[in-house]
Each structure stands twice: as structure tokens, then as C-alpha cells.
Structure 1
Amino acid sequence: MRILFIGDIVGRSGRTALSSRLPGLITEWKLDLVVVNGENAAGGFGITEAIYNEFIDAGADAVTLGNHSWDQREALVFIERAPRLIRPLNYPAGTPGRGAAMIEAKNGARALVINAMARIFMDPLDDPFAAIDRELAACPLGEGADAIVVDFHGEATSEKQAMGCFCDGRASLVVGTHTHVPTADHRILPARTAFISDVGMTGDFDSVIGMNKDEPLNRFLRKIATSRFEPASGPATLCGLAVETDAKGLAGKVAPVRLGGGLEEARPGFWP
């Protein structure tokens, strides 16, 4: 399978980059599965039903979330009728929505998409390792699913790397999200799970992690909040991770994706 994971969509700039580029990438790269993190899509905070539908219409097969899952209160309701919207698995029992979903890929394959939130410097949710272990045990790669994608939303690189090691050989890819800065450690782990500590954001990099620079600078310099954070509105860089898997669902090729905006371009050389 050819899988593209696209990092945190930030505001209108990020949404524009996704909607303008993704349909062409699906055709050009013959993508089988596209997963998008959308937790910052609505003005930088949360997601709305209209934006979720916009992503699906653009070609996303699943949309994952994170610590901003409920910033738009409507998400608590519409997530129940949005089967491809996936919030962190390790929220307490009774939280609306789902933390994992079996998605039919564009080629008809079965793809299990899991979203979980880390705990270091994050909200103290249930143990993400135990929660993901239960999902992987219930649906083994190559038996219950043709591919398994794990979006691990967290702050600490150490915790995300540990999750990669924990899932190695049991998932097709483990992708870190949340910090909005793409890391350079994309690789295939020893048991052939593709991994990156953070895939980065799809947003304007002339910013502070996607936000207009003035207010973050003011808070760092003066420790006073004078206004809301607002997403930067310049041209966005689409950041992602391209992974090609074999018949067993394990990674054979991995490469970073950076298109447009202010970062150096990167494309998977193994796809035409």
C-alpha cells in the first residue's frame, strides 16, 4: 500500500494547502490511504463538521485529533456521525467518538487507524501504551488489518520514540504529531515499522508553530496575554510522511514530504 500521513493542519492557510494539493497527490502518487491530523484546523483550535467534510471531500480517508479535540464544542456531537474522525484512544470511558477505526482504503484494503495522546507535558489521560496494546492485540497486522497507522500526539520526543519501539513490527507506521516542527529521524525500525518523531504541520512556517508571531512573542517577553492566538495566514508548507508497505503491512520505504511554503521541498523519490 501507498500511505500518506499529513501533519497538523493549522488554520485557513493549512486547509487551503491541503485542499489544493491533496487531490493531485492522490492521482500523481497513486495513494491508497491518506490520514490527516485536523485538531488545529478551525482557527488553530479544534475542528468543525464543515472542515471535517472538506478534508474527506479532498481525499482524506481518516482525520485524527489530539489535545484540541473539543475546542470547537460541536465536535462533541458531530463526531458520533463522523465515522472517519478519530480522537485520542486513551480518553476516559464515556468520551464521545472513537479512538480507533477500521477504514476501507482506496484500493479496498483494511486499514486500522489509531490515535492516542502522550502524557509527558500533556493532559494526564489513561496509559496510551496499554490502550494501544489492546488495539494491536485485538487486530493483528496482516490478519485483522492490511495496514495499521498510529498517530501518537505528544510533546516529548522520548515518549514518541518509545511508542515507536513499542509498536515495532505490529504497526505499519507510527507518526508523532503535536509539536508542529518536522523532525529528521524518519526511518524504518528493526521490525519494519516506519517512524518519525514529529511529522510537522501543514501551515505557515513564518510563525510560532503556526500562530501569528506577535502574541506568542509578547507572552514570552512580558508574561502577559493581550489577545488570542491567531493562525498565521501566509503560504503553508504541507508536511507529511510517505510510506510504502508490503503484502504483510510492514514498511518497505519511507520518506518525508514537504511541499510549498517556506521549507525546503522534499518528495518521496520512490514514487513517480
Structure 2
Amino acid sequence: MILLFIGDIVGDAATKYVAGRLPGLRAQHNVDLVVVNAENCAANGLGMGAVQVELLLRSGADVITGGNHSWDSEESVDLLRLRQVIRPANVDDDVPGKGIIHVTVGGETVTVINLADDCAMHSVKATAGKVFPAYQAWDTADRRGSTIVDYHGDHVLEKQIFAHAVDGEATAVLGTHTHEATERLRLLTKGTAFVTEVGMTGPDGGVQGFTPTNLVNGLRTAGNPFAGDMPDVFDGPMVLGAVLLEISNGAATGIKRIR
């Protein structure tokens, strides 16, 4: 089985970029399953937009994962009702959305579970006081067949510890959230593929895909980059953050970057 995972898609232009490339990537690499993190795909880069999610699904995305921005707007929350869309699983049951999905690929079951660390979730109003440890959600999850983890987290240490803790149980642990791709791709000793950060898919040259101006002004004038208006999505050349997984009998046999 071949799985393509695309990291945090930032904004409308990036969504269109992915949609334009997906059919070709699927054909070129004989991809069986496409998972994309689209928590930033809305036109303003905050949460998901219906137009963008529909385009991603229509162009070949099979599962859409999220993170701390999954509840940024009413539109984003409404999209969590879609069968193909998940958000971090390590939140209380009364938080909108679901954290796990099972899909059938060529007669095989694949589980995709979305998790997040506490640091990534600390300022999310929708989940305030309702976040619990990622491993607890993993340990109690209904995992079937090959299991792919989108681990949405700030801390390198936590991502690496989690990956080693589930080595041989998870097929892959794929880090998202920080938007800056890490170089090392690993196959752990018991068959789990791991990358600390897949990296964003969006406009290069700004701050995590956003225009620096408001953030810089906030830092200079108030000592807080978020003191002013939220930044616009940056206008720059697109960068693709993506990895391709080879999977056999529930274990990863290969992982490589798609540039």
C-alpha cells in the first residue's frame, strides 16, 4: 500500500496548488490513500473553509486531519461533521468532531488518528480544560489494521517519545503543526515510520505561511506578536510538505519526501 501524507495546507492558494497536483501525484506514485492536514486551508489561513475542503476531497484527498485550528470558525466546526474530516482525539467527547476514522483501501482497513500535544492546544477556547494526554487517547482508540498518526505538536521531545512508545503498534507517526519541515525520516526498529515535522504546504518566505508585518509590529510595539490584527496569508512561492509511505502488513517499509 502507498500512502501520501500532506502537511498543514495554509490558505486558498495552497489548497488550489494541492488540488492541481494531487491527481498527478496519485498516478505517478500509485498512491492508494491520501491524507492531508487542512486545519489552515480557509482563505484567511485560520480553520477550514467549505470551498477549500470540498476542492481537496474532489481532487483526491481521502482523509482530512486537523489540530488547534480545527475550531477557529463556525464554518470550520460545521465541517467536522463530514465523515472524512477528523480533529485531535485527545479532547473530551463533548467537543465537536471526531478524532479517528477507519477507511478501507484495497480490502484492507486503515485507521487514521489525529492527536495533539498540550502546548499546541493551550490557547484553543473550544477545548479549554478538555484536553487530556495524547497517549491516553491512543491507548484507548479503536485501532484496526494499519494505523497512521497525525501528531500535531510543538515539542520535538514529545513527538519523538510518543513515536518510540508506539513503535510496532503504529504504522507511522507523522508530525505536524510547526510548519517547518525536519530533515530526518526514520524507520524505527519495530516498523513504525516517523518524521518529527512533515512541514507545511503553503507560501514560502513568511512566518509559517503568514505575512510577517502585523506580527513584527505587535512584537516591537507591545512585546506580543499577537497584540494586533491577525496576519494575512503570505503571497509567495508554494512549498510542498509531504511524505510518501510504503506499507506492508501494517508496518512501514519505506518513507520518503515528495518535493
TM-score surpassing 0.5?
yes
Cα deviation for residue 16 of structure 1 reads 2.0
Cα deviation for residue 85 of structure 1 reads 0.1
Aligned 8 A contact 1:64 1:87 in 2: yes
Cα deviation for residue 217 of structure 1 reads 2.0
Aligned 8 A contact 2:198 2:243 in 1: yes
In structure 1, list runs of 5 or more residues that go unmatched. 259-272
Aligned twin of 1:153: 152
Mapped partners of 1:226, 1:101: distance in 2: 38
Cα deviation for residue 215 of structure 1 reads 1.7
Aligned-residue sequence identity (percent) comes to: 35
Matched position secondary structure for 1:111: strand
Question: Alpha-carbon deviations, 1:130-158, whole Å to 9, x = none?
Answer: 111111xx43xxxx32x211001010110
Cα deviation for residue 245 of structure 1 reads 1.0
Aligned 8 A contact 1:8 1:201 in 2: yes
Aligned twin of 2:135: 129
Cα deviation for residue 119 of structure 1 reads 1.2
Cα deviation for residue 52 of structure 1 reads 1.6
Aligned twin of 2:125: none
Mapped partners of 2:172, 2:63: distance in 1: 15
Cα deviation for residue 96 of structure 1 reads 1.9
Aligned 8 A contact 1:120 1:159 in 2: no
Mapped partners of 2:104, 2:164: distance in 1: 27
From 211, 231, 234, give the equivalent of 2:233: 231
Aligned twin of 2:243: 241
Cα deviation for residue 14 of structure 1 reads 1.4
Aligned 8 A contact 2:48 2:79 in 1: no
Matches within 5 A, 1:174-185: 174-185=173-184
Matches within 5 A, 1:1-272: 1-42=1-42, 43-80=44-81, 82-105=82-105, 107-120=106-119, 122-123=121-122, 125-135=131-141, 138-139=142-143, 144-145=144-145, 147-222=146-221, 223=223, 225-246=227-248, 248-258=249-259
Give the direction of change, closer, same or farther, for the CA distance of 1:121–1:55 in structure 2 (3 Å limit). Answer: closer
Q: Which runs of 4+ in 1 moved over 3 A?
A: none
Amino acid at match of 1:201: M
Amino acid at match of 1:44: G
Amino acid at match of 2:35: V
Of 62-71 and 114-123, the range deviating more from structure 2: 114-123
Mapped partners of 2:103, 2:47: distance in 1: 22
Mapped partners of 1:3, 1:36: distance in 2: 11
Mapped partners of 2:12, 2:77: distance in 1: 22
Mapped partners of 2:2, 2:109: distance in 1: 13
- TM-score normalized with structure 1 length: 0.87
Aligned 8 A contact 1:17 1:237 in 2: no
Question: Alpha-carbon deviations, 1:66-95, whole Å to 9, x = none?
Answer: 000011212323422x10100110111212
Aligned 8 A contact 1:14 1:204 in 2: yes
Mapped partners of 1:49, 1:16: distance in 2: 13
- TM-score normalized with structure 2 length: 0.91
In structure 2, list runs of 5 or more residues that go unmatched. 123-128
Aligned twin of 1:261: none
Of 87-96 and 70-79, the range deviating more from structure 2: 70-79
Aligned 8 A contact 1:117 1:153 in 2: yes
Amino acid at match of 1:177: T
Mapped partners of 1:121, 1:12: distance in 2: 23
Question: Alpha-carbon deviations, 1:27-65, whole Å to 9, x = none?
Answer: 111101110000011121000232222111111110000
Cα deviation for residue 209 of structure 1 reads 0.8
